[in-house]
Amino acid sequence: MRPSGRKLSEMRPISIEVGVMKHAEGSCLIKMGETHVLCSATIEDKAPPFLKNTGLGWVTAEYGMLPRATNSRTRREAAAGKQSGRTQEIQRLIGRSLRAGVDRSALGERQIVIDCDVIQADGGTRCASITGGWVALKLAVDKLLKAGVIVSDPMIDHVAAVSCGIYAGQPVLDLDYAEDSTAGTDGNFILTGRGRMIEVQMSAEGATFSREEMGELLDLAEAGCTALVQAQKAALGL
Amino acid sequence: MRPSGRKLSEMRPISIEVGVMKHAEGSCLIKMGETHVLCSATIEDKAPPFLKNTGLGWVTAEYGMLPRATNSRTRREAAAGKQSGRTQEIQRLIGRSLRAGVDRSALGERQIVIDCDVIQADGGTRCASITGGWVALKLAVDKLLKAGVIVSDPMIDHVAAVSCGIYAGQPVLDLDYAEDSTAGTDGNFILTGRGRMIEVQMSAEGATFSREEMGELLDLAEAGCTALVQAQKAALGL
Amino acid sequence: MRPSGRKLSEMRPISIEVGVMKHAEGSCLIKMGETHVLCSATIEDKAPPFLKNTGLGWVTAEYGMLPRATNSRTRREAAAGKQSGRTQEIQRLIGRSLRAGVDRSALGERQIVIDCDVIQADGGTRCASITGGWVALKLAVDKLLKAGVIVSDPMIDHVAAVSCGIYAGQPVLDLDYAEDSTAGTDGNFILTGRGRMIEVQMSAEGATFSREEMGELLDLAEAGCTALVQAQKAALGL
Amino acid sequence: MRPSGRKLSEMRPISIEVGVMKHAEGSCLIKMGETHVLCSATIEDKAPPFLKNTGLGWVTAEYGMLPRATNSRTRREAAAGKQSGRTQEIQRLIGRSLRAGVDRSALGERQIVIDCDVIQADGGTRCASITGGWVALKLAVDKLLKAGVIVSDPMIDHVAAVSCGIYAGQPVLDLDYAEDSTAGTDGNFILTGRGRMIEVQMSAEGATFSREEMGELLDLAEAGCTALVQAQKAALGL
Amino acid sequence: MRPSGRKLSEMRPISIEVGVMKHAEGSCLIKMGETHVLCSATIEDKAPPFLKNTGLGWVTAEYGMLPRATNSRTRREAAAGKQSGRTQEIQRLIGRSLRAGVDRSALGERQIVIDCDVIQADGGTRCASITGGWVALKLAVDKLLKAGVIVSDPMIDHVAAVSCGIYAGQPVLDLDYAEDSTAGTDGNFILTGRGRMIEVQMSAEGATFSREEMGELLDLAEAGCTALVQAQKAALGL
Amino acid sequence: MRPSGRKLSEMRPISIEVGVMKHAEGSCLIKMGETHVLCSATIEDKAPPFLKNTGLGWVTAEYGMLPRATNSRTRREAAAGKQSGRTQEIQRLIGRSLRAGVDRSALGERQIVIDCDVIQADGGTRCASITGGWVALKLAVDKLLKAGVIVSDPMIDHVAAVSCGIYAGQPVLDLDYAEDSTAGTDGNFILTGRGRMIEVQMSAEGATFSREEMGELLDLAEAGCTALVQAQKAALGL
């Protein structure tokens, strides 16, 4: 029995609202249950220095959390003077995952920065950031296409992410905080719209898992990402 | 003629929605036109060290802005490794202003932290933070009263803030970004519900102003704060 | 009755000694009673990047305090690894105020840096920094004029600053530390030689004030700045 | 054909020399071909604050690389003023993996710090750090047991790690730098002596992979970790 | 021929004015020609943690330089966010040297902090800081003795410092900036009032020196420190 | 009697193994008894900016210590966020000393970075770094000569360093940690192959010394450096 009463393979309600930040080239507010993340995309004319004269573009991400997005207040990273190791790990993951869905040659020598800011946290913030970040990215790229700045569409496929884990001995989909904080094994699964895998991160803090369990979680993840891709399409009117 | 077509003494539409962050002891989303600020209040059991054994409480504030709250992306302060001088100046002002409306003896030896995070910016973010921050503070204090943690109400009076300035030679109320970025003289006015002044900051970047002009801006500010206090009351059902 | 025995409208003795730092393009040691500040001006050939090709110059300021300028030793900011919010707020104010007295077009694309270092503190260090900083700035600009580097004088008017406050229920001029640390309301007033206002900052830590009180403080400030401008002229032999 | 001429499932020569740092409670120099890592274990009497009065111990890790461990010199992180996101991600992984092999209750309220410093890098430094770090940890724990500080052995099982990836379209074991820098998909696999999984991290920078490929890499990883556990036993004389 | 016209063994005019900072427990302004350093002593009730329960006191020093103490402006270390290697090296030397003149047992478990701030620099600032720092220290210790806080005098002997070097092939005493910046070999010599050596630092940037030259510089240094100790006595009325 | 049983003028066994880091242009592992330091040389095509268009090259050094090189673990400087004052002082000394042995004009406008990383510490790490660093530097320069990048040999002479001190009242050569931590006076002596002095640093923490003692230590240092230069030659096959 899950704390929320959900079935083992039941996701939380998904909501993706686009165009919520008037200044951004693309934006959305994604809600996975009580986890809410604001995602925005910024187009920059220049690619990072290491890509100079390669003809290739770049997609990168930054991640943050409002101090009171969490149950007890988290110290503001700007006040602490640095981003935590956790934050850096997450934003590197978001950027890497989104790049897997982009033809960087078609994008050309420019950079798109995806900002993911957690307004309210209830588990799965990095997965929500990837799923929502893709929507913001898609909107920004569409703007470039419509303006004729680029001519061929660099978006190869959807990118979506979901967490799964072993909770109370059973494989469950889309962990919320109550589950995430006690699960022995959990993982993040980033998949494309066609079901190919981009990144799989399974981790057992103080425990271990078998290949069979790994297979069960992958099955759940594939179902979850299919639903997320549907939500992305619906939000974008595709 | 103002860029927005507003009359000289016309404020932007005010909207204050309470209870928007489920983890916080008090929260609201305040909108002054296109300026949107999320305000939350966190109650901490301990007062800062310098108040130890004084019986007095403390109210402090932190301020932040999402990178793409602005027209062009602003570098994330957590990534830059420090809060800018501007950010520190603003959060010191918010804290100082809110403390002027609180009987710190009635609050007792605890601290309330007000987080103000700008989701979208169009001028006047510090004033919106103060006005919204007061609502979050009030909700948190009411929670303490209801729980019987404190017995006498430490809230002395409303605190609200508005900016005024000389735009195109004329005194105007509640500057938006288009006005703020070109006004020769502008100021922030923090007033109580009874119209007493808490803080007046008038500044002329590369210009100067007379006492007469100062008086006109004060007249506008008094009218503006009266409207803001009404909006605070409406949001709280007072 | 003021702790120093001064009358309500009586300033502390003013002393401005010029030419005290042999390497600087302009310098002075300003003493407002026991508050002593060393001010120097450095001419830099280049303006900041954001002014490139605008034809406009810049005046900026940095502020510091010797660790034992204060009654109990203050931690050295260089050792702490950053400038405090208070320091940044003050140096932004000094720069902004001095720029209001300069025709940046006549100055041309160069920068003058004003360093204000408090050797001994007894209240009013930011005001003394502005008044003394103007003298250092004036000396540096005169050097540019004499050398023919610039041809028309960019100095529009004197800039001087004084603090006033409500001490023991009465409006007083030029607060020293004993008054400043207990005044409910105090403010900093930056005026030009012709009595125009550049910046007014009134603040009531844990208190409030009326428009009538504000008027009384302005009257005091105008008298104080008139005296300070006289001292600037005397120091410079104008 | 692999750059080194190795067969697809062939590991590099493994060498683990123990007792190489005279001050450490446990240490070894592990070599996976041309990748050399010095691992040391330090026993600290106190557990981290969050474990106070829980009876549980902690194992943590720090990771570093000599500036010229790499082909071109890498900037020293101490000089840069911070550990990179990559470094933090790696040391979090090492600590998490080693904790999965430890009964923290049997360890008691103390901390063991594993330092992994890369002397020479040729791919797979994080995996070598985990495999060698486990040896240093084991030696330190044996010292505690021999001294009677703890009475029941907290070491549950071996922990070993290896990387696998898709290189030139074929699954290969134990990637060296030449392979690692061009592989479309690669992963790190951390397993126990009994073949249970602790952590699986598969990542496709700018590419994707199928479940079938994932299965093939897991097969390779199981074989690789079996060999590594043998090397650990040989080095320790078990 | 020296740039200043001084004889090889001629020092610059020495001036030591005591009591220049009203808040400090001891202070002086030392001038070695155009090198001016403000030195203050602060008594702290607690010794550093590593001396807890040893009965021993500590003397430490911090060193700084006003941005425009030098010919071209030096970036403010507080703005740069850290003290340079040079600053740290100098303040460690000042503290170490002064401790050699103090019986730390007689001082008892307290700390005296010596702040040396260079107001104007023309070579030899670290030596002037030591010589002047000793005067400030002596004044602070005398205050402790007079107040009966300590009963036996912890001051063992004077401590004074001077620089010497090989300029244009000849040994010279008390180098000014013009000499210091071109001397192939120079050194700092810290001696006691009785002529014992505390620290000798000789350095040849891009050159070398012989034992004979070293002996000549030591002769000069002994003469120089004798003169400095006389000046310390005169300033203190000993 | 020395803790190690060595005679007063007896050095620890010296071992210098070259070519230990495959990526570096020059490298060695130097052992002075139980003090082990890895030294590498990196050739960079560009000299530092301040040498632009001077035709002169530069040699600089960085120094580090593995956390468990010492008896109790030392905090990692990369984690602490900065290099300590001690580290900066040491690396400045290494760079300065090595430059004294190089004709920077013959080197041409390039930079050689010497990294000295202490693997195990037992006193005298900075001296071992200089002696070993010179070997790495020599190997890198030979590579430049052999490749014809430079045509005349910039190596003027050997550079070697040794510590001496007064231990238990007697002058001793090459202090180990047991001696170093209790010696009243000790010093570092950096000499050339011909016995000329580059740097002499004598320091008496809480004590003083005479010129006679200084002479005795210099005699020991000359003998020690002669032995070190022999070891450098042997390691390089000169």
Task: Give pLDDT tens digits for A38-79.
Answer: 999 999 999 999 999 999 999 999 999 999 999 999 999 999
Q: Extract the runs of DSSP E, i.e. beta strands, from E151-213.
A: 159-167, 170-173, 185-192, 197-204
**Residue E126 is labelled as binding a ligand:** yes
Between residues B38 and E182, the one the model is more confident about: B38
Please indicate if any CB of chain B lies within 8 Å of the CB of C192. yes
Average pLDDT, stretch C12-17?
Answer: 98
Contacts with B, A 6-25, CB within 8 Å: 21-24
How far is it, in rounded angstroms, from Cα F198 to Cα F220?
16
Task: Give pLDDT tens digits for A85-144.
Answer: 899 999 999 999 999 999 999 999 999 999 999 999 999 999 999 999 999 999 999 999
Instruction: Determine the 3-state secondary structure of E147 from DSSP.
Output: coil
Q: Are the beta carbons of A120 and B21 closer than 8 angstroms?
A: yes
As a whole number of angstroms, the longest Cα–Cα distance in chain E is: 56
Give first-to-last CA distance, chain E, whole Å. 36
Q: Which of C76, C115, C121 sits opposite E66 (nearest CB)?
A: C115
How far is it, in rounded angstroms, from Cα C28 to Cα C119?
12
Please indicate if any CB of chain E lies within 8 Å of the CB of C178. no
Task: Give pLDDT tens digits for F85-127.
Answer: 899 999 999 999 999 999 999 999 999 999 999 999 999 999 9
Q: Give the minimum alpha-carbon distance from F208 to chain E in angstroms, rounded to a whole number.
A: 5
Task: Give pLDDT tens digits for A126-136.
Answer: 999 999 999 99
- Exposed / middle / buried, residue F212 (Cβ in 10 Å: 0-12, 13-18, 19+): exposed
Q: Give the minimum alpha-carbon distance from B217 to chain A in angstroms, rounded to a whole number.
A: 30
Q: Which helix (H) or strand (E) holds E106?
A: helix E104-107
Size of interface A-D (CB pairs under 8 A): 88
Nearest Cα residue in chain C from E71? C23
How far is it, in rounded angstroms, from Cα C115 to Cα C109?
20
Q: Chain F interface, mutation test: which of D31, D73, D83, D176, most F Cβ atoms within 10 Å?
A: D73
Q: Are the beta carbons of D224 and D165 closer than 8 angstroms?
A: no
Q: Are the beta carbons of C129 and C117 closer than 8 angstroms?
A: no
Instruction: Determine the 3-state secondary structure of E220 from DSSP.
Output: helix
Residue A20 has pLDDT above 90, yes or no: yes
Are C64 and E76 an interchain contact pair (Cβ–Cβ within 8 Å)? yes
Q: Shortest CA distance to B130 belongs to which of B204, B214, B191, B210? A: B191
**Residue E99 is labelled as binding a ligand:** no
Instruction: Determine the 3-state secondary structure of F122 from DSSP.
Output: coil
Q: Which residues in chain E are contacts of C34 at CB distance < 8 A?
A: 22
> How far out from the chain centre does Cα B64 lie?
13
What does the pLDDT read at residue F207? 77
Quick one: angle between helices E125-146 and E211-236, nearest 10?
40
**Residue E182 is labelled as binding a ligand:** no
Share of chain A above pLDDT 90, in %: 94
Task: Give pLDDT tens digits for E14-32.
Answer: 999 999 999 999 999 999 9
Instruction: Determine the 3-state secondary structure of C189 from DSSP.
Output: strand
Are D199 and A204 an interchain contact pair (Cβ–Cβ within 8 Å)? yes
Place of tokens 């003149």: E101
Task: Give pLDDT tens digits for C197-231.
Answer: 999 999 987 679 999 999 999 999 999 999 999 99
Helix, strand, coil % over all residues of chain F, rounded to 5: 35, 30, 35
Q: Which residues in chain D are contacts of A187 at CB distance < 8 A?
A: 200
Q: Are the beta carbons of D154 and D124 closer than 8 angstroms?
A: no
Are C96 and B210 an interchain contact pair (Cβ–Cβ within 8 Å)? no
Spans in chain E with pLDDT lower than 50: none
How far is it, in rounded angstroms, from Cα D6 to Cα D26?
33
Residue C36 has pLDDT above 70, yes or no: yes
How far is it, in rounded angstroms, from Cα F25 to Cα F40?
7
Nearest Cα residue in chain E from F88? E85
Residue D224 has pLDDT above 80, yes or no: yes
DSSP for F44-90? ESS--GGGTTS---EEEEEEEE-GGGSSSPPPPHHHHTS--HHHHHH
Q: Are the beta carbons of C188 and C26 closer than 8 angstroms?
A: no
Please indicate if any CB of chain C lies within 8 Å of the CB of B208. yes
- Exposed / middle / buried, residue D143 (Cβ in 10 Å: 0-12, 13-18, 19+): middle
What does the pLDDT read at residue E69? 97
Task: Give pLDDT tens digits for B108-119.
Answer: 999 999 999 999
Mean pLDDT lowest among B9-13, B19-23, B166-170: B166-170
Size of interface B-C (CB pairs under 8 A): 90
Residue C125 has pLDDT above 90, yes or no: yes
A206 pLDDT band (50/70/90 cuts)? low
Are C85 and B85 an interchain contact pair (Cβ–Cβ within 8 Å)? yes
Place of tokens 């000169």: F238
Are B62 and A71 an interchain contact pair (Cβ–Cβ within 8 Å)? no
Q: What is the DSSP letter of A108?
A: -
How far is it, in rounded angstroms, from Cα F85 to Cα F87?
6
Residue B172 has pLDDT above 70, yes or no: yes
Which domains occur in chain D, in start order?
A: 14-236 (3.30.230.70)
Q: Give the minimum alpha-carbon distance from E72 to chain C in angstroms, rounded to a whole number.
A: 8
Q: How many CA atoms lie within 13 A of D12 on its CB side?
A: 26
DSSP for B11-80? PPPEEEEE---TTSSEEEEEEETTEEEEEEEEEESS--GGGTTS---EEEEEEEE-GGGSSSPPPPHHHH
- For chain A, what's the residue count? 238
Q: Which residues in chain E are contacts of F85 at CB distance < 8 A?
A: 83, 85, 88-89, 91-92
Residue C53 has pLDDT above 80, yes or no: yes
How far is it, in rounded angstroms, from Cα D73 to Cα E237?
59
Nearest Cα residue in chain F from D22? F120
Please indicate if any CB of chain F lies within 8 Å of the CB of E72. no
F176 pLDDT band (50/70/90 cuts)? very high
Token pair for residue E167? Answer: 């300029």
What does the pLDDT read at residue A1? 82
Complex confidence, ipTM: 0.88
Q: Chain B interface, mutation test: which of A35, A73, A129, most B Cβ atoms within 10 Å?
A: A73
